Chains A and B, each alone.
Chain A
C-alpha cells in the first residue's frame, strides 16, 4: 500500500507536481498515466525519497521511505533502464544492491533466472541492449522480494516479446497480492495491464478510477454509414433529428445512434448503404481528450490533434500501432473512424 498525500514539487516557478493525493492498493496493477512531462517520473522519484517534495508526504506501508529498515525488501523500483554501473557485471551490480539490504547472495541468482539473464550474468552490463538493461532493472526491483513494485515506463524500447513478458509478469505479481504501480504514457498499454487507473496532467490528478469505470465512461459509441447517395442520406438523417458528422472517405457518423433504426430509415427512403456499423471510440482518444489542456509539448504540424506528441505505437490507429497489431486486443478495430471523426465539421 502506498499513500500519497498532497504531494507537490516546484522547480523554480514551474509546478511539476501539484497537490497529488492517491492510494495504490495491493493485489491489483495500478496504472499511472499521463502525457510526457506530466510529472509521473518526478512523482515516482519522490515516492522513493530520491527527490525532496516541496510539500506533502508519501507513506509506504504506513512508514516514510527513509524509515524503512531495508527498503528493497519492501519496495522495488525500476526507474530507468541502465541505472547500473556499466563496467560491472550484471551479477555484481545486483550483488552490491543485495548486500546493502542484507539480502542473501543466492537471491541474486534467483532473480537473474526469473528475468532470463542467467546466461549473461558474468557479462559487463554496458554491453546490454535496452531490453536486457530493462530486464536487469526489473531483476533489481525483484531482488528483495518486495510487496510493492514500481515500474516507470517498463515497456519503453522493448520488443513485442519483452512487452508481453513484462505484462504477464506484472499481472502475475499482482495476483500474488503485491502492489504494482506502473507508469506509462500509452493508454493502449494500460488498457491491457492495469486494473486501476490514476491519470495526471501537468502534475494534477485528472482521474482516479477503476479501469472498467474508465472504459464505461469514456468510450463513445457511434454509428458509421457510407452510401453512394450521401446528400440524400444526410438530409434523411437530419430530418429524422440526428446530428450527423462527416467523417473521412465519404462516411457519416452519428453519436449514440442504434444501427437498427438507421438501417430501417435508409430502407424507407430507398437509399443504398455500403456500410452501416456500430463503432466505439478508442480509450486513447478519451485519454487525449482528458489530458488535452494539460499536454505540455504540443506538436504543431498541420492540424495535429492534442496529444500529437505521442510516439508511433501510441496505439491510436492500427496503421501506427505495431504492438496492437501483434496483440489484437480491445481497443483495436473500432477506432478506425475515430481518428478522422474527431476534427470533422458538424454539418
Chain B
C-alpha cells in the first residue's frame, strides 16, 4: 500500500504545478473582497434610504461578505478542476496505477485541496471583513462583537465546504464540463431563486449553500440573510452533511467503476 504521506506530497505537487489553481484561487479572493468592498461602501452611503426594519436588522458582517456570491463560484471552479483535470486528461489511469488504493488516492487529493481552500477562504474572509468594515464607516462592527469572529471564520469554512462539495460531485460525474454545468447555475441562480419563492424556500433552506451561509450571519433576522429554523452551527451541520454525502458518493463511484 502506498504510504499516505507520499501520496499527500504527490497531490500537493499536482495542485501547485498547474496554473488553474493560481487563477481560480486569486479569483476567489478578488471577487469576494472587491465586490464585498463595493457593496459595503454603497450600503454606507445609502443607509438612510433603508426602511426602519432594514436598519435595525442591518448585518454589517454579512454585508462585507456580499462578494462571496461570486467568490464561491470561483471556488466551485477550483474544486471541479482539481478533480476533473484527472478525467479530462486521462491522467486518472496513470494516477490510479501509481496509487491503486482508491480511498488513499481520493482522500489525499481532497484533503490537500480542501486544506488549501480553507486557508484561502480564511484569508479571503478576514480581508473582506476588515475592508468591508472600513468602508461601512459608522455602520460597521468590530471583530470583538458577539458572533462576529465566528462569522468571519465561518466564511472560510463555508468556502472550504463549497470546494469539497464540488470535488465530491465531480468525482461522481467524472467530468469537469458536466460538473461546472450543473454546479455553477445551481449556486448562482437556482438556489437563490428557490430560496425566494414562498413554498420552495422551505426546501431551499436546506440546500448546502443556503444552510452554510447561516454561519456568516451575525444578526439573526438580517434582511439579506437566509431563513430556516436552524442556527449558525445547525446550518453548518446541514452543509457538512451535504459534503459528506457528496464525498461518499464520489468515493463509491471511484471504487466501483472502471477507470
Please state if B14 and A70 are interface contacts (CB–CB under 8 Å).
Answer: no
Please indicate the chain B residues that have their CB under 8 angstroms from the CB of A71 in the complex: 2, 97-100
Q: Does B7 contact A (CB under 8 A)?
A: yes
* Chain B 86-108 residues near chain A, CB threshold 8 A: 86, 89-91, 93-101
Residue among B1, B11, B100, B256 having the largest count of chain A Cβ atoms under 10 Å: B100
Partner of B3, one of A48, A82, A102: A102
Please indicate the chain A residues that have their CB under 8 angstroms from the CB of B259 in the complex: 45, 50-51
Residue among B9, B93, B94, B99 having the largest count of chain A Cβ atoms under 10 Å: B94
Please indicate the chain B residues that have their CB under 8 angstroms from the CB of A77 in the complex: 97
Please indicate the chain B residues that have their CB under 8 angstroms from the CB of A97 in the complex: 10, 94-95, 98
Residue among B9, B11, B89, B99 having the largest count of chain A Cβ atoms under 10 Å: B89
A144, closest chain B residue (CB): B98
A interface, over-half SS: loop
A80, closest chain B residue (CB): B90
Q: Does B44 contact A (CB under 8 A)?
A: no
Please state if B99 and A100 are interface contacts (CB–CB under 8 Å).
Answer: yes
* Chain B 4-34 residues near chain A, CB threshold 8 A: 6-7, 9-11, 13-14, 17-20
Please indicate the chain B residues that have their CB under 8 angstroms from the CB of A166 in the complex: none
B7, closest chain A residue (CB): A100
Please indicate the chain A residues that have their CB under 8 angstroms from the CB of B17 in the complex: 88-89, 92, 95-96
CB within 8 Å for A83 and B89 given contacts A50-B259, A88-B17, A96-B13? yes
CB within 8 Å for A45 and B100 given contacts A85-B91, A96-B17, A100-B10? no
Q: Does B85 contact A (CB under 8 A)?
A: yes
Complex alpha-carbon distance, A152 and B17, angstroms: 28
A48, closest chain B residue (CB): B97
Q: In angstroms, how far is the closest chain B Cβ from the Cβ of A116?
A: 20
B105, closest chain A residue (CB): A100
Please indicate the chain B residues that have their CB under 8 angstroms from the CB of A69 in the complex: 1-2
Partner of B18, one of A49, A68, A88: A88
Complex alpha-carbon distance, A83 and B1, angstroms: 23
CB within 8 Å for A87 and B85 given contacts A71-B97, A102-B6? yes
Complex alpha-carbon distance, A103 and B60, angstroms: 52
Please state if A87 and B19 are interface contacts (CB–CB under 8 Å).
Answer: yes
Please indicate the chain A residues that have their CB under 8 angstroms from the CB of B258 in the complex: 45, 50-52
* Chain A 68-108 residues near chain B, CB threshold 8 A: 68-72, 77, 79-80, 82-89, 92, 95-102
Please indicate the chain B residues that have their CB under 8 angstroms from the CB of A82 in the complex: 89-90
* Chain B 43-102 residues near chain A, CB threshold 8 A: 85-86, 89-91, 93-101
B91, closest chain A residue (CB): A85
Please state if B97 and A85 are interface contacts (CB–CB under 8 Å).
Answer: no
Please indicate the chain B residues that have their CB under 8 angstroms from the CB of A100 in the complex: 2, 6-7, 9-11, 95, 98-99
Please state if B2 and A70 are interface contacts (CB–CB under 8 Å).
Answer: yes
Residue among B14, B19, B96 having the largest count of chain A Cβ atoms under 10 Å: B14
Q: Could you write out 26 A-B pairs with CB less than 8 Å apart?
A: A45-B93, A50-B258, A51-B258, A51-B259, A66-B100, A66-B101, A67-B1, A70-B6, A71-B97, A71-B98, A71-B99, A72-B97, A79-B94, A80-B93, A83-B91, A83-B94, A84-B91, A84-B94, A87-B20, A87-B85, A88-B18, A89-B17, A92-B17, A97-B10, A100-B7, A101-B98
Q: Which residues of A are in contact with B by a Cβ distance under 8 Å?
A: 45, 48-52, 65-72, 77, 79-80, 82-89, 92, 95-102, 140
Taking A50-B96, A51-B259, A83-B89 as known contacts, 11 extra A-B pairs with beta carbons closer than 8 A to each other, sorted by chain A number, are A49-B96, A68-B100, A70-B6, A82-B90, A83-B91, A88-B14, A88-B17, A97-B95, A97-B98, A100-B2, A100-B98
